[in-house]
Structures are given as structure tokens and as C-alpha cells.
Amino acid sequence: RDFRSTQMGGAEGASVGNRPPPADTGGFGGDIPSTSDGHPPSGERGSKSMTSMDFLLRGESVRSNPYLRAFAASGLPEVMMADDNFSSWTNIKGRVLRKEIAEASAAASRIPRAVAKARGLPAAAADGTCADGPLGDGDGVVLFDLCSGKGFTSIFLSHRYPKARILMFDFDRKMNLKHLPSLAPRVSFHRLNLYDDEVERLVSDAVISHGDRGSCVVGVHLCGDLSRRAIELWDRCGVDGLVLSPCCLVRELAEVKRPHGTFGYGLARLAKRTGWDSYRLWCLFLWNHIGVMGSDGDDGDDLVRDGDDGDGRPRRDLNWDDDMISGRNAFLCVSRATACAPCG
């Protein structure tokens, strides 16, 4: 099924885009394996209680949703069910599990294109139609999972790119992270506030140390000003790509309580006056914000605006994904501009 895509350039407009091809949906592809009774295999059902993962694999949602279908065929469910460290994931509520899978898969499907465009790779690589994909097995690739929570996106990406380095960032001290030892040392968790200078240092260093082949910042359902901060980290730290799914608008505070300025203030009132959907307006606001950011690794000081000729202009996509199992299903995908070869 197609999903609506707003491809926005120097002039206003919209075009309909297609979902990433089946082989690249969530980074996985193939048909769901099934047993003789018509259900997907899900372990030794006679020797243990059914988990939420078992019910998911046997349900109808894996046939109706392309992201869940690709996940079921990927081999990752079997890996998680065979490792007790993942029990907090395989036993969570089915609705939550489906949502986590769809969100992670939707984000993952956009990473290869964002990196390929930043690296100036051929159109086939950007479209995810190369045999191995632009990121291969993840060797020389580093990915940053912002506001990761327990990190299903990182689990997903570590399976898709087994040689990639993945850094998770979250400030929550109450999460069950029992599964992280099963992902070490390729996946590391950093309990930091995204506004800490240490985050910028870690991201910048990781790009230099591990991102020879590609790098991408990923943020799924980042609340309020955290979406702006994700864009800022991508811009300042020299990361190739950004895949961002914004969530709620910025919470407006009294002047004495504003830790990060007034970015995004007034959008709720503007939406009410104009009749625009506030979430869509927020996404368009962020999209335009990206358009005036410098992308030459100089902390955004050298601004090149949309429509100008220059190496600093980022390439941006804004689209909505109906299969994400969420009403807040927009994605901003950004690629750092590639340097032009000298003329003549």
C-alpha cells in the first residue's frame, strides 16, 4: 500500500511516494515461515507458556501490516525468544509490542536512503535496491538511537546490521535493561540528558572512530524540543543522516522556566486560528528549520538556504507512514549535502 509523501524542495508542493521496496521494509524481507498447521513457528509451545511474541507471530497483524510481516520473517523473533535476557520484550502487552516493532521498522527502512544520499551513492543504493544495501552488514557504520527508551530500535538495528556500532541515549533511570548484555559490545547505553555536552562529544567521536562507511541519528517520537535537539546534534556532530519522527509540540513555559528558549512556541495557537492540524504544522515547522541550517560541519554558522547553490544545503524529505500504527506517523529524513567536485 502506498503512503502519503510530501517531498518538499525549493518550491511548495507535494508528490505521492511509495513505501520502501519489500526487501527494504524495516531492513528485512521474505515470507513468513509457517508450520504444518498454518501458523508461524514459535518455539516449543508444548513445554512453555505462550508469550506475547508467540501470539504476535500466530496472529493476523503479521499478515496485514508490512512492517510486522517483515519482522516475523527476519529471524529476530526466534533470537529474542531463545534468550531470557529479552523476556521483558517478549512478554509485554501485544499492542505495545506491535507498536514498538512498527515504529522501529519504519525508522530502519529510511536509514539506508538517508545515508546513501549523504554519501553521494547511486540512486539504486539510495532506494535500497542494491543487493547488499548501502550499509551492508554495518561494518564501518555507527547509529545513534536518541531517547531510546529500552531500545527496541537498537535491538532491531543490531540484528539488521550485525557489525554496526549503536549508541543509545536516554535519561530514564527506571528502565529494565536486562537485554543489553546480549547486545554488547556493539550496542552501548548512555544514561545522559540529550542537552549535555557529553552527548555531543560521544556522537562526534563515534562518527570519527566508527562511521567511515556511514552514520545516522535516529529519533522516534521525540517529545517537544527534543526534536529540535536531535536536528542540532545531527548538524553539529557531522552525522551523515537523520531519521526523525516528531511527537508532541513544545510545552510552553513561563519565561523564568524556559531552559531551551522559545523554539516552537505559539504553534498551538496558530493551528487553532488557521484550522491546521497542530502535529502537521509542527512537522512542517521542523522541516523549514532544517532548511536554514548549515551542513558543512561548522556548527551551523555558515547558512545556505533552500534554493541557493552551495554545498551546505541539506537534503530533506517529509512524509507520513500509515503503517506505523500511530497517529503521529510523520518522518523527517535529512541527508548532509555532499561536496561538489571542482568544475573544469
Quick: pLDDT tens for 112-128.
Answer: 999 999 999 876 666 66
81 - beta bridge partners?
none
CA gap 76, 330 in Å, rounded: 26
- Say yes or no to pLDDT of 319 above 80: yes
CB 240 within 8 A of CB 216: yes
d(CA 154, CA 315): 25
The residue written with cell numbers 529519533 in the block is: 219
Burial 236-247 (b: 16+ CB within 10 A, else e): bbbbbbbbbbbb
73 in helix, strand or coil?
Answer: coil
How far apart CA 187 and CA 75 sit, in angstroms, is: 19
The answer, yes or no, to whether residue 250 has pLDDT greater than 70, is yes
Contact 70, 29 (CB under 8 A): yes
For residues 145-164, give the mean pLDDT.
96
271: pLDDT confidence band, cut at 50, 70 and 90? Answer: confident
CA distance 169 to 176: 14
Model pLDDT for residues 209-231, shown as the tens digit of each residue = 999 999 999 999 999 999 999 99
Q: Supply the DSSP string of 170-231, one letter for each residue.
A: E--SS---TTGGGTTTTEEEEE--TTSHHHHHHHHHHHHHH-SSEEEEEEEEE-TTHHHHHH
Q: pTM here?
A: 0.80
CA 239 – CA 112 distance, rounded (Å):
13
Residue 129 half-sphere exposure toward CB, CA atoms < 13 A: 6
